[in-house]
């Protein structure tokens, strides 16, 4: 008989189920912002070579501050403008440029002080202007003293730079007492001996007649705190002022102030 046929081959074992592999996560490529984050914002650092200069024109009152003299708005602007024009001309001559130029600023005016500030590019540039600024400050102080003295004896006008700056300036003059007034009488000439006084601000203008000058001033009452007592009685005086229209001699003003 024929040999028996071999048994059929057994089915192959099932292959293991292949699960889909997850997509690999590639590392992110760092951007320029990631590698170099923006630095924190800081205000710009001041240039170490800058030179800031502030010049103060000051009134130093005496212990007896009467009648008081103060800078008004008009006089403050006059000081600032009288300072600016020569400085601008000298800067042009020296071919200098300021980071912050001197400027007329009403906010820097006060009754006892007016200030002007500027910033030079370098300390060397400021030193080039030092002789000129010193001479100009002295000149303006002299003009101020001439305009208010001797109606305000005891006052001092000075100009100086603020401490800590890169430039040093100083000028100052005292108001001396006025000359002996006319007429030469034996009356008491002490201040406050009369109930009236003349305000120290005097204005001039053209007179009514040709080639004449008109002097305008104000007369006020001396406060009780500054009025002197004479022999236990109130001070009294009598005076008549006679002048031609449009012509007021200057010595009358001195007489009213000192009598």
DSSP string, 26-78: PPPPP-HHHHSPPPPP-PPPPPTT-EEEEEEEEEE--SS--S-----HHHHHH
Could you tell me if 166 and 60 lie in one domain?
yes
The three-point CA angle 142-144-149 to 5° equals 95
Sequential pLDDT tens for the chain (259 residues): 666 666 666 666 665 555 555 555 555 555 555 555 565 655 554 555 789 999 999 999 988 788 788 999 989 999 999 999 999 999 999 999 999 999 999 999 999 999 999 999 999 999 999 999 999 999 999 999 988 876 777 899 999 998 878 899 999 999 887 666 666 667 777 777 888 887 766 778 888 888 898 888 788 888 888 887 765 444 444 444 444 444 444 434 333 333 3
In a domain, 140, yes or no: yes
Token readout for 125 is 């540039």
Task: Give the pLDDT of residue 249.
Answer: 45
Could you tell me if 155 and 227 lie in one domain?
no
In a domain, 11, yes or no: no
Domain hosting 215: range is 196-258
State how many domains the chain has. 2
In a domain, 31, yes or no: no
Please state, for a pLDDT cut of 70, what percent of the chain lies above it. 65
**Of 119, 142, 174, at which residue does a domain stop?**
174
**49, 122 Cβ separation under 8 angstroms:** yes
Task: Give the pLDDT of residue 259.
Answer: 34
Could you tell me if 64 and 144 lie in one domain?
yes
**Dist CA 117 CA 99 (whole Å):** 11
What's the helix, strand, coil split of the chain in %, to 5? 25, 20, 55
Could you tell me if 135 and 88 lie in one domain?
yes
In a domain, 15, yes or no: no
Render 7-32 in DSSP notation, one character per residue: PPPPPPPPPPP-PPPPPP-PPPPP-H
Could you tell me if 157 and 56 lie in one domain?
yes
Could you tell me if 71 and 104 lie in one domain?
yes
Could you tell me if 101 and 139 lie in one domain?
yes
**Of 174, 208, 225, at which residue does a domain stop?**
174
**Which domain CATH number covers 75?**
3.30.70
**Of 109, 142, 174, at which residue does a domain stop?**
174
Could you tell me if 168 and 200 lie in one domain?
no
Task: Give the pLDDT of residue 251.
Answer: 39
Could you tell me if 243 and 145 lie in one domain?
no
Task: Give the pLDDT of residue 238.
Answer: 45
Could you tell me if 236 and 163 lie in one domain?
no
Task: Give the pLDDT of residue 16.
Answer: 57
pTM beyond 0.95: the answer is: no
The three-point CA angle 259-152-231 to 5° equals 35
In a domain, 162, yes or no: yes
Could you tell me if 72 and 159 lie in one domain?
yes
């Amino acid at each position: 008989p024929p040999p028996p046929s071999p048994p059929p081959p057994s089915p192959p074992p099932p292959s293991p189920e292949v699960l889909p592999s997850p997509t690999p996560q590639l590392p992110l490529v760092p951007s320029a912002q990631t590698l170099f984050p923006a630095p924190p914002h800081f205000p710009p650092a001041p240039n170490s070579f800058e030179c800031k200069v502030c010049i103060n024109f000051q009134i130093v009152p005496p212990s007896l501050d009467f009648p008081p003299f103060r800078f008004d708005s008009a006089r403050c602007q006059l000081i600032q403008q009288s300072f600016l024009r020569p400085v601008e001309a000298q800067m042009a001559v020296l071919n200098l440029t300021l980071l912050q130029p001197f400027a007329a600023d009403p906010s820097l005016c006060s009754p006892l002080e007016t200030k002007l500030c500027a910033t030079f590019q370098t300390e060397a540039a400021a030193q080039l202007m030092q002789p000129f600024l010193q001479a100009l400050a002295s000149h303006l102080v002299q003009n101020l003293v001439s305009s208010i003295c001797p109606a305000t004896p005891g006052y001092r006008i000075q100009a100086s730079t603020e401490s800590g700056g890169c430039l040093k300036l100083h000028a100052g003059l005292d108001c001396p007492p006025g000359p002996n007034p006319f007429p030469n009488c034996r009356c008491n000439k002490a201040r406050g001996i009369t109930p009236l006084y003349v305000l120290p601000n005097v204005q001039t203008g053209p007179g009514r007649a040709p080639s004449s000058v008109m002097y305008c001033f104000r007369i006020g009452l001396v406060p009780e705190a500054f009025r002197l007592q004479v022999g236990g009685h109130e001070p009294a005086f009598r005076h008549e002022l006679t002048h031609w229209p449009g012509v007021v001699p200057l010595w009358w003003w001195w007489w009213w102030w000192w009598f």
